Structure 1
Amino acid sequence: MERIALVFPGQGSQYPGMGKLLYEEYQEARDVFNEANEVLGYDLAALCFNGTVGQLGNPEKMFPAILTVSVAAYKVYMKLVGIKPVLCAGHSLGEYAAMTCSGMMEFKDALKIVALRGVLANKVTASLDGIMTVVDGIDRFILQKACEEASINDKKAVISCYNSDEQFVIAGNQDAVMKVEDNVLTMGGTVTPMFMSAPFHSFIMEEASSILRGELEKCSFEDGNFPVISNVEARPYAGKECVVDLLSKQLVYPVRWKEIMDYFKEQKINLVIELGPQNILRNLSKINMKTVQTFSFLNVDDIKTLMEFTLKDRKKYFSVVDECLKVAASVPNKNWEKDEYRETVVESYKSLEQLRFNLINEGRNASEEEAEIALSVLKEVLKGKKVSEENQQQLVGEVLTNSGLILN
């Protein structure tokens, strides 16, 4: 089985037309956009598909747009591929998409929070002295020293994102950041100013962080269906009780993306799939994890290749459904109570048959979730036929063995 990690991009990944292909081809994507339109009170789909670069560059609109495209991509991924990830992570803003797709946070709440995050960003940009710049080709410790030397009195520059061994983002007061830029250029590095961006992940966002915390406290959170890696700690959220604190701190603390990629390696991830506009994180994954397969799910060629790459695993899920039907039909019955047998065995068997019929009719393999449903229904059939607990476990084990699949 492939060990999959899903990654979700943040600010800077937006572009006019993003998500349009998914919207036109898949009802699952249309449902996501329709919900976003309803929550936000404007036509987000029209903005994403027909908006100008300037309109999509406004954080108040940009952040919900990127989140929506990412969640839509996840819904389509689960329809087409259907393999639950081992874990997921989002870069900066992308952490909200990761939280939503894992089930830790409701989509409607995430939309409202990221829209507020955009409003706060605009206020900071308009009223405070702060900028951001991407730095390439400089060692981390040299850059750290350059930031320290440029920070005088209350004018400071800090590293706000650790993207790879040689790519970083710096943020802080304009004078200090520009001094660091000059030093970087002198040392042979390159700089790419992030025009009109608030200085995220820096001390300048402390007041905004407090306001965001107040709104996060009004939301409800769950533990999620798979782990989400925190930008602040570069480790999985310990539980839903940590969400408010870590998402609030995220505005002030640096994004530890390089460490997150190192954690992926520790977890033996061998397939990284970017769900969202462009392929920024796919490219970073190639830099940080040179031996893994990487795909961008909004790239048509990548989707085709990914479907081929995961075909073997997806066929195994269909085999689970087939094997469950075989066992359900062949195992001897020891339950002579007709009404109970009809309710527990007959109806359950019919649902298995319907699941298989739907898969064949739709011309697709089963998802991991559907394979788990089939196993759950088989257990109901076995229980209804009064099969002993020991034999139930043995039969389920045979299903997994015969299908060539061990579920997580």
Structure 2
Amino acid sequence: MTNARLAFVFPGQGSQQIGMLAEAAAEFPEIRSTFSEASDVLGYDLWELCQRGEQADINLTERTQPLLLTSSVALYRAWCARGGARPALMAGHSLGEWSALVCSGTLAFVDAVRLVRERGRLMQEAVPAGEGAMAAVIGLDDAAVEKACSEAAEDEVVAAVNYNSPGQVVIAGSKAAVDRAIENCKAAGAKRAMPLPVSAPFHTELMRPAAEKLAPQIEQAEFHVPEIPVIHNVHARRELDPVAIKALMVEQIYSPVRWTACVQEMSRDGIDQLVECGPGKVLAGLAKRIDRSLSCHNIETPAQLNEAALATAG
């Protein structure tokens, strides 16, 4: 049964940890079966990698992306198998938007695994290691961050790329330009402006070559009308036309993630309960900063999933 007040949100890169979902896998058979499906596509044992591999290995973008997609889809399948309420809306942060598309019925899981593996590889290849950078800026409004980037750019690229919550924006671009923008943000009164341990400048114009290379593969994939609407990162609105969704997923690679606007749009649609479907609780924390009235749940462990299912039963 659909809960008209419930939305599911899916995390992006940064939530991966060695040993994640071990507790859920011990109780929910959907976890291991979903990982097995992904492993067949990838040609390596994804579960073994995330349980007994090295953190550095799962931090490689072309491995991180299928790993987080698989984790989110596995947890959503476990949720559905246990009679959890059907959400009225979905959204995902960056890579998490692909998880939302799978769980909304827009795209087959195995097709998404292939596409995000390639997405990760192309995004990492677009800018040589060490030439790009990202940084988190805390305590400045969006306009001030955008001004700091504009003044720092000179003949290089630096821009606001993740509008995560009021007063929390991530910037990205060429390393030297990002360094200049960090100093500008500090001078403008930012509480903190600090580099992130990421070498590729995601969601900037520097990612356009990756988007152009992935576009034909997205075009060839079979997309359907979503069974559950997805709020998209690019414009913070829903889209039901599969052709338009394909275009958005290409554009998303080099466009800012408007996460604050996505959460606000869900709130305007009557959503007051959020379930973060994936490892970690980053999005739940951001949601509370965006709209304190939201009730947020995580479902990474069996106890969390059972508690959230009861709380959102309608």
TM-score (norm 2): 0.95
Where does residue 319 of structure 1 map in the other structure?
none
Where does residue 100 of structure 1 map in the other structure?
102
Distance 1:9 1:192 in 2: 21
Q: Which runs of 5+ in 2 are unaligned?
A: none
Q: Is the 8 A contact 1:232 1:254 kept in 2?
A: yes
Q: CA deviation at 1:197?
A: 3.4
Distance 1:117 1:17 in 2: 24
Where does residue 178 of structure 1 map in the other structure?
179
Where does residue 79 of structure 2 map in the other structure?
77
Where does residue 244 of structure 2 map in the other structure?
242
SS in 2 for 1:233: coil
Distance 1:127 1:53 in 2: 18
Where does residue 69 of structure 2 map in the other structure?
67
Q: Is the 8 A contact 2:182 2:194 kept in 1?
A: no
2:59 to 50, 57, 60: 57
Distance 1:265 1:200 in 2: 27
Where does residue 278 of structure 2 map in the other structure?
276
**Pair 161,196 (structure 1): closer, same or farther in 2 beyond 3 Å:** closer
- Match status 1:30 vs 2:25: no
Distance 2:214 2:196 in 1: 23
SS in 2 for 1:16: coil
The letter of the residue matching 1:83 is: A
Distance 1:310 1:231 in 2: 25
The letter of the residue matching 2:160 is: I
Q: CA deviation at 1:301?
A: 5.0
Q: CA deviation at 1:125?
A: 4.0
Q: Which runs of 5+ in 1 are unaligned?
A: 314-408
Q: How does 1:367-386 map to 2 (within 5 A)?
A: none
SS in 1 for 2:244: helix
Distance 1:280 1:54 in 2: 20
TM-score (norm 1): 0.73
SS in 1 for 2:87: coil
Q: Which has the higher contact order (CA 8 A, sep 6+)?
A: 2
Q: CA deviation at 1:2?
A: 5.8
Where does residue 405 of structure 1 map in the other structure?
none
Q: CA deviation at 1:80?
A: 2.4
Q: CA deviation at 1:23?
A: 1.9
The letter of the residue matching 2:161 is: S
Task: Give the CA RMSD over aligned residues.
Answer: 1.6
Query: Which structure has the greater CA radius of gyration?
Result: 1
SS in 2 for 1:273: strand
SS in 1 for 2:217: helix
The structure with more helix, counted as a fraction of residues: 1
Identity, in percent, stands at 35
The letter of the residue matching 2:185 is: V
Distance 1:246 1:114 in 2: 15
Q: Is the 8 A contact 2:130 2:199 kept in 1?
A: no
